[in-house]
Amino acid sequence: PLMKFTSCLLLMLATSALHATEIVAHRGASGTAPENTVAAFKLAWEQGADACELDLYLTADGQIAVLHDKDTKRTTGVPMLVAEAKLAALRELDAGTWKDAKYAGEKIPTLAEALATLPVGKQRFFLEIKCGPEVVPVLAKELEAWKPRAAQLCIIAFNEAVAVESKKAM
């Protein structure tokens, strides 16, 4: 009986160790596709990522845009501050060509567009809030529909006020 128990315990430990490591696609499959785009998230899921990290900013018209930088220059070639731009203006920019011509026309996605790529199951999104706590009420409202799948979402932030407000709101 002890040998059987030990074998079972070793098997359980080995199995849990195999599943303990998660592969998180930073800004989606950003090594291949343009970061923080629908194409990058879809590719990450196709490649078997356990999770994707994405970045969130609030636009001038109170919408959430998925973008790493506070401006659009690096990924679109057009200098525009996200906090001072309306979402429609941001969506007119080409966020794909800088990475590869085959991604020409790829848009800066909304949070809803990014989340729509998330498969039902165990995969997750890490939602990194890059701006201040002003985004939290908008984010809480957008995530309301995701309550049944809340275990697939994780909010991360470097700003303590953002973390505190997120915890209160959600």
In tens, the pLDDT along 54-78 reads 999 999 999 999 999 999 999 999 9
Residue from 27, 42, 68, 99 carrying the catalytic annotation: 68
Mean per-residue pLDDT, 24-31: 98
- Pairing, β 64-66 against β 153-157: unpaired
Q: How many CB atoms lie within 10 A of CB 60?
A: 14
> Catalytic site residue 68?
yes
* 8 A C-beta contact, residue 131 and residue 158: no
DSSP 132: -
- pLDDT band, very low/low/confident/very high, at 18 (cuts 50, 70, 90): low
Q: H-type helices in 19-120, by residue range?
A: 38-46, 73-76, 87-91, 111-115
Phi and psi at residue 128, in whole multiples of 5°? -90, 120
The first and second tokens of residue 118, run together, are 């998330």
Residue 85 tokens read as: 């731009």
Q: Check if 19 is active-site.
A: no
From 25, 26, 128, 133, the catalytic residue: 26
Q: Is the pTM of this model over 0.75?
A: yes
Residue 23 has pLDDT above 80, yes or no: yes
